[in-house]
Amino acid sequence: MSEHVAPSGQSRYWAFLSYSHADERWASWLHRALEGYRLPRQLAGLTGKHGALPQRLFPVFRDREELASAADLPARIREALADSRALVVICSPQAARSRWVAEEIRSFKATHGEQRVYCIIVDGEPHAGDAEGGAARECFPQAIRFRVGPDGELTREAAEPLAADARPAGDGRNGALLKLLAGLLGVELDVLRRRDEQQRRRRNRLWGAAASALIVLLSAGVWYSNAQRLEAERQRDLADTRQQIALARQLAAQSARIRVEQPAAIELASLLAIESVRRLDTLETQQALQAAMRLLPPRPLRLAEGFSNAAANYSRDGRVALADQGNRLSAFSVPDGRRLWEAAKYHESKPLLTPDGCCVLFFDAGKHWHALRLAEGTEMQPAPAYLPLLESLQAERLHRLEFSPEGRVLAVGPRLVETATGAARPDPALDTAALVTFDASGRLLVQHRDRSLVLSAPAGAGPPKRLELAREAMPRFSPDGSLLVAMGYQALEIFDTGSGQRLFELACDGPYADVAFSPDAKVLAAACGNVARLHDARTGSLLADLPHDRPVNSLRFSRDGARLLTASYDNTVRIWRIADRREVWRAAHSGYMTQATFAPDERSILAAGMGGIYLWPLEQEADLLAEIPGPIWALAASPDGQWLAAAGVEPQAQVVAIRMSDGQTRELAHPDQRVAGLAFSPDSKLLAVPQGRQFEVLPVAGGEAVFRRRLSDFPYSAIVAGAFTPDGQVLVATTGKSVRGYFRLDRCTVSGNGGEKPCDTRDLPLDPFSDARPFFSADGKRLAFNATSNRENSLRLWDTQGASESILPEEKANDIVFAPDRLLVAITAGGSVDVLDLAGRKLRGIGHEGWVPHLALSPDGQYLAAGLTDPVSRAKNRVVIWRLADGEEVARYPRPGDDGPLVFLPDGRRLAFSDGRRLRVVAWRTGDVIAQACLHLGRNLDCGEWRTWLQDERYRATCPALPPAACKP
Give the mean pLDDT of 813-832: 73
Q: Are residues 708 and 607 in the same domain?
A: no
Domain C-terminal end among 187, 203, 232: 187
Same domain, 301 and 286: no
| Co-location of 61 and 151 in the same domain | yes
Number of structural domains found in the chain: 4
Residues 178 and 65 reside in one and the same domain: yes
**Distance separating alpha carbons of residues 745 and 759, to the nearest angstrom:** 9
Beta bridge pairs of residue 859: none
Residue 212 belongs to some domain of the structure: no
| 287 and 301 housed in the same domain | no
CA gap 49, 55 in Å, rounded = 16
Q: Residue 92 pLDDT more than 90?
A: yes
Q: Write down the pLDDT at residue 717.
A: 78
Asked whether residue 578 falls in the same domain as residue 718, the answer is no
pLDDT tops 50 at residue 395:
no
Q: Tell me the mean pLDDT in the region 675-683.
A: 90
In-domain check, residue 540? yes
Regarding whether 169 and 20 lie in a shared domain, the answer is yes
Average pLDDT over residues 409-420: 82
- Say yes or no: 29 and 157 in one domain: yes
CATH no. for residue 150? Answer: 3.40.50
Print the domain residue range for 291.
Answer: 224-295
Task: Show Cβ contacts of residue 165 under 8 Å, excluding neighbours closer than 6 positions.
Answer: 120, 121, 171, 176
| pLDDT class of 87 with cuts at 50, 70, 90 | very high
Count CA atoms within 13 Å of residue 212 on its CB side.
Answer: 5
pLDDT of residue 916: 63
Please check whether residues 755 and 794 belong to one and the same domain: yes
Instruction: Report the range of poorest mean pLDDT among 21-35, 442-456, 652-666.
Output: 442-456
In a domain, 181, yes or no: yes
Task: Say what the pTM is.
Answer: 0.59
Last residue of a domain, one of 579, 602, 619: 619
For the chain, give the percent of residues with pLDDT over 70.
Answer: 88
Closest Cα to residue 688, out of 673, 707, 660, 664?
707
In a domain, residue 895? The reply is no
Q: Where are the beta strands (DSSP E) in 674-729?
A: 679-680, 686-691, 694-699, 707-710, 717-724
Q: Quick one: pLDDT at residue 462?
A: 64
* pLDDT given for residue 753 in this prediction: 63
Residue 86 scores a pLDDT above 90? yes
Report the alpha-carbon distance of residue 376 to residue 338 in Å, rounded.
12
Q: Evaluate if residue 6 carries a pLDDT over 50.
A: no
Please check whether residues 161 and 76 belong to one and the same domain: yes
Residue-wise pLDDT for 457-475, tens only, equals 655 556 777 778 888 778 8
Instruction: Judge if 342 and 228 occupy the same domain.
Output: no
At 69, the pLDDT band (50, 70, 90 cuts) reads very low
Classify residue 772: in a domain, yes or no: yes
State the CATH number of the domain containing residue 688: 2.130.10.10
Please report whether residue 309 resides in a domain: yes
Instruction: Specify if 18 maps to a domain.
Output: yes
| One domain, residues 285 and 308 | no
pLDDT tens-digit map of 586-596? 887 778 889 99
pLDDT averaged over the chain? 83
User: What pLDDT does residue 3 have?
Assistant: 46
Indicate whether 761 belongs to any domain.
yes
Cα–Cα distance for residue pair 419/413, rounded to 1 Å = 15
* C-alpha of 858 from chain center: 18
Question: Rounded distance, CA 881 to CA 855, Å?
Answer: 10
CB 627 within 8 A of CB 918: yes
For 97, 849, 891, the CA distances from 879, given in Å and listed in that order, are 110, 12, 8
